[in-house]
Amino acid sequence: MNNCFKQFFLISIITSVIFLSGCSSTPDTTGKLENDPFESINREIFEFNNVADKYFIGPIARGYRDIFPDVIRTSIRNFLLNLNTPLTSINSTLQGDFTKGLSGVGRFAINTTIGILGFIDVADYIGLEPIKEDAGQTFGVWGMGPGPYLVIPILGPSSSRDLLGKVGDFMIDPVGLYLIREDKEDILFGTKIIQAIDTRSELDAVIEGTRKSSLDPYAIIRTMYLQRRARQIANEDTEIFFGANVLEETSIFDIEINGDNYEDY
C-alpha cells in the first residue's frame, strides 16, 4: 500500500476502536428498545456528521451534480456498481444464493467487456438485474444479530455486525485486493469517494428538506436503518429509498437525515 492509503486505513481502524472503547464505558439506557445503549455518544457523532454534511459534503455533492450532466453521472454510477459486482457475487454465494452469485458473475463479464468497463449497463438490458449484497448481510443470513446500534464518524448509522461486515468486505473484495496488490490504492480510494459524492448528490433534495423540518432525525434514521437492514437480509428490500435508487453501495451517512418520509418506508 502507498503511505496515504495506509495512513487513512490506520486512522479509520483507530477511530473505530476508540469509538467502541468509549461506548463500552459509557452505556446509556434511553435507546434500549432500538438496541441503542450508547445513544448519548451516538447523538454527538450524528451532530458532527450533520455539520460535516451541511458545510462540506453537501456543497461538494451539489457542485458535482451541477458540473456533470445526468448521462455522465449515470455512466459513472454504472461503472462503480460494476466494480462492486464481484464482491456482491461472493456474498450472494456465501449466503447460499447461487443464482444471484452466478448472475453477478454474468453481469460483471458482460458489462466489463461489452459495457466498456461497466459504464454502460448492458447486462440490465438483457435481464440480468443489478444486485447488492455485503458481508453485513451475509453475517445476518448466517444468524448473527445486529448488535448495538452505532453511529460512525462520517460513515453514519451502522451496527456492530455491519461494522464487522465492512472489515469482511475489505478482506474479500477481489477488485479492491487486486488494486492493492498492484499498488493502485489511490484508484480504490478515489472510487469510494466518488461513490459517496454521487449518492449524496442523488439524495440532496430529501436530505435538505428533512434537515429543515424533522424534529428528531436521529431517532427516525435509527429506526429506518435497522428496519432496512433487516429487510435486506430477508431479501425484501426493494432498493428504492424514498424515491431514490440506492442500489449501488451507499455511504450510510448519505441517508442519515431522511426524516419526514419514514412512514413510506
Q: Please state the rounded mean pLDDT for residues 95-124.
A: 96
Q: Please state the rounded mean pLDDT for residues 131-160.
A: 94
Share of the chain above pLDDT 90, in %: 63
pLDDT band at 224 (very low <50, low <70, confident <90, very high): confident
Q: Per residue in 5-21, pLDDT tens?
A: 454 454 454 444 444 44
Pairing mode, if any, of strands 149-152 and 240-241?
unpaired
Say if residue 24's pLDDT is above 80. no
Residues 6+ apart with CB under 8 A from 145: 161
Say if residue 122's pLDDT is above 50. yes
Q: Please state the rounded mean pLDDT for residues 198-223.
A: 83
| Stated pTM of the model | 0.77
Q: Please state the rounded mean pLDDT for residues 222-238.
A: 85
Residues 6+ apart with CB under 8 A from 207: 53, 58, 200, 254, 257, 258
Q: Please state the rounded mean pLDDT for residues 137-149.
A: 96
How many angstroms separate the CA atoms of 265 and 246, rounded?
Answer: 14
Say if residue 149's pLDDT is above 90. yes
C-alpha distances in Å from residue 29, one per residue of 12, 48, 162, 166, 210: 28, 22, 22, 27, 27
